[in-house]
Structure 1
Amino acid sequence: MTCLRGLLLCLLSLSIGMAVAQTDDSLPDGQLPLDELRTFVEVLERIRTAYVEPVDDATLLENAIRGMLEGLDPHSAYLEPEAFRGLQDSTSGQFGGLGIEVGQEDGFIKVISPIDDTPAARAGIEAGDLIIKLDEQPTKGMSLMDAVTKMRGEAGTSITLTIVRDSGRPFEVELTRAVIRVQSVRSQMLDEGYGYLRITQFQNNTADDVRNTLNELKAGELKGLVLDLRNNPGGVLQAAVGVADSFLAEGNIVYTEGRLSNSEMRFNATSHNPSGEVPVVVLINGGSASAAEIVAGALQDHGRAVVMGTDSFGKGSVQTVLPLNNDRGLKLTTAIYFTPDGRSIQAQGIVPDIRVERARVTREEEDIAAVRESDLQGHLRRSEPSAPAVAADRERPQDTDYQLNQALTLLKGLHLTRAKP
Structure 2
Amino acid sequence: MLNTAKRLILPLITASALIALPSFADEASGSKDPLNGQLPLQELRNFTEIFERIRTSYVEEIDDTTLLQYAIDGMLTSLDPHSAYLQPEDFSDLQENTTGKFGGLGIEVGQQDGLILVVTPIDETPAQKAGIKAGDLIVSLDGEAVMGMSLNDAVERMRGEPGTDITLEVRRKNEKELLTFTLTRAEIKVASVRTEKMNGDIGYVRITQFQENTGGELAQAIEDWQSQGKLNGVILDLRNNPGGVLDAAVEVVDSFISQGLIVYTKGRNPNAELSYSATQHTPAGSIPTVVLINGGSASASEIVAGALQDHQRAVIVGTQSFGKGSVQSVLPITEDRAVKLTTARYFTPNGRSIQAQGIRPDIWVEQSEVKSSEQRFYKEADLPGHLSNPTDAEEVTEGSEKAPEIVSELLKRDFQLYEAHTLLRGVSILSPRPES
Same fold by TM (over 0.5)? yes
Cα distance change, pair 281–116 in 1 and its aligned pair in 2 (3 A): farther
1:69 aligns with 2:58: no
2:94 is aligned to 87
CA contact (8 A) 2:323 2:359 kept: yes
2:240 is aligned to 231
CA offsets 1:380-414 (integer angstroms, 9 cap, x no match): 59895767998995843112211111111111222
1:371 aligns with 2:380: no
CA contact (8 A) 1:101 1:233 kept: no
Report the Cα distance in structure 1 between the residues aligned to 2:75 and 2:154, rounded to whole angstroms.
Answer: 18
Report the Cα distance in structure 1 between the residues aligned to 2:145 and 2:64, rounded to whole angstroms.
Answer: 29
The counterpart of 1:208, out of the listed 213, 216, 220, is 216
1:295 is aligned to 304
Q: What is the percent sequence identity of the aligned residues? A: 51
Cα distance change, pair 137–417 in 1 and its aligned pair in 2 (3 A): closer
In the TM superposition, residue 281 of structure 1 has moved relative to its aligned partner by 0.7
Cα distance change, pair 28–244 in 1 and its aligned pair in 2 (3 A): closer
In the TM superposition, residue 203 of structure 1 has moved relative to its aligned partner by 0.2
In the TM superposition, residue 35 of structure 1 has moved relative to its aligned partner by 2.8
Report the Cα distance in structure 1 between the residues aligned to 2:145 and 2:328, rounded to whole angstroms.
Answer: 26
The counterpart of 1:335, out of the listed 325, 328, 344, is 344
CA contact (8 A) 2:266 2:346 kept: yes
2:205 is aligned to 197
2:256 is aligned to 247
The counterpart of 2:268, out of the listed 259, 275, 288, is 259
Tell me whether 387-396 or 71-80 shows the greater mean CA deviation.
387-396
1:412 is aligned to 425
In the TM superposition, residue 418 of structure 1 has moved relative to its aligned partner by 2.6
1:353 is aligned to 362
Q: Which amino acid aligns with 2:365?
A: V
1:397 aligns with 2:392: no
Length, aligned pairs only: 374
Q: Which amino acid aligns with 1:93?
A: G
Report the Cα distance in structure 2 between the residues aligned to 1:137 and 1:39, rounded to whole angstroms.
Answer: 39
CA contact (8 A) 1:285 1:312 kept: yes
In the TM superposition, residue 378 of structure 1 has moved relative to its aligned partner by 5.9
Q: Which has the higher contact order (CA 8 A, sep 6+)?
A: 2
CA contact (8 A) 1:201 1:233 kept: yes
Q: Which amino acid aligns with 1:397?
A: L
In the TM superposition, residue 67 of structure 1 has moved relative to its aligned partner by 1.4
CA contact (8 A) 2:310 2:350 kept: yes
Residue 218 of structure 1: SS of its match in structure 2? helix
Report the TM-score when normalising by structure 2.
0.74
The counterpart of 2:160, out of the listed 150, 153, 164, is 153
CA contact (8 A) 2:158 2:166 kept: no
Residue 249 of structure 1: SS of its match in structure 2? coil
In the TM superposition, residue 277 of structure 1 has moved relative to its aligned partner by 1.0
2:353 is aligned to 344
Residue 298 of structure 1: SS of its match in structure 2? helix
The counterpart of 1:45, out of the listed 52, 55, 79, is 52
In the TM superposition, residue 179 of structure 1 has moved relative to its aligned partner by 3.9
Report the Cα distance in structure 2 between the residues aligned to 1:190 and 1:388, rounded to whole angstroms.
Answer: 23
Tell me whether 239-248 or 222-231 shows the greater mean CA deviation.
222-231
Residue 18 of structure 1: SS of its match in structure 2? coil
Q: Which amino acid aligns with 2:430?
A: T
CA offsets 1:80-129 (integer angstroms, 9 cap, x no match): 11111111011101113477899xxxxxxxx9x97863879956599xxx
CA contact (8 A) 1:18 1:31 kept: no
CA contact (8 A) 1:284 1:312 kept: yes
Report the Cα distance in structure 2 between the residues aligned to 1:344 and 1:256, rounded to whole angstroms.
Answer: 10
Cα distance change, pair 38–116 in 1 and its aligned pair in 2 (3 A): farther
Tell me whether 248-257 or 392-401 shows the greater mean CA deviation.
392-401
Q: Which amino acid aligns with 2:85?
A: Y
Report the Cα distance in structure 2 between the residues aligned to 1:264 and 1:180, rounded to whole angstroms.
Answer: 35
1:169 is aligned to none
| Mapping 1:179-198, distance limit 5 Å | 179-198=187-206
Residue 431 of structure 2: SS of its match in structure 1? helix
Report the Cα distance in structure 2 between the residues aligned to 1:314 and 1:160, rounded to whole angstroms.
Answer: 34
Report the Cα distance in structure 2 between the residues aligned to 1:123 and 1:311, rounded to whole angstroms.
Answer: 24
2:11 is aligned to none
Q: Which amino acid aligns with 2:432?
A: A
Report the Cα distance in structure 1 between the residues aligned to 2:196 and 2:207, rounded to whole angstroms.
Answer: 12
Unaligned runs of 5+ in 2: 1-23, 110-115, 138-143, 170-180, 389-393
Residue 331 of structure 1: SS of its match in structure 2? strand
Q: Which amino acid aligns with 1:191?
A: N
In the TM superposition, residue 36 of structure 1 has moved relative to its aligned partner by 1.9
CA contact (8 A) 2:265 2:347 kept: yes
In the TM superposition, residue 416 of structure 1 has moved relative to its aligned partner by 2.6
Cα distance change, pair 381–329 in 1 and its aligned pair in 2 (3 A): farther
Cα distance change, pair 359–321 in 1 and its aligned pair in 2 (3 A): same
